[in-house]
Copies of this chain bind each other. A is one copy, B any other.
């Protein structure tokens, strides 16, 4: 049994599936409309849609002819909440880099002595 977050991340770990989500972020679309910009065969698109559907990232309407797909953003909130727990880690790192750059600018000797050494 796979946990929801792992299922979501697996579904997102493909550039075509992320592009499909980006398209659906602009509004509902049929499978044909989703397939067009990717130059993919319909069965390939259908496979990607199934992975997204199993992860709860999209739903598909029930009307047989159109069955438009729509984005469901709730699983993305879980990803956001998870990654947010690490925000201080990369912010701290950028602060350190910034501090080092400032040091370089105010005292060019820092970089020169590094290059010389």
Contact = CB atoms under 8 A, between A and B. Distances in A.
Interface of A: 3, 5-7, 9-10, 12-15, 18, 21-22, 25, 71, 73-74, 76-77, 79-80, 82-87, 89-90, 93
- 8 smallest A-B Cβ distances: which pairs? A9-B13, A73-B89, A73-B90, A10-B13, A77-B90, A80-B83, A76-B86, A6-B13
9 contacts: A6-B14, A9-B9, A9-B13, A25-B89, A71-B86, A73-B89, A73-B93, A80-B84, A83-B83
A12 B15 contact: no
Secondary structure of the A side of the interface? helix
Contacts of A79: 79, 83
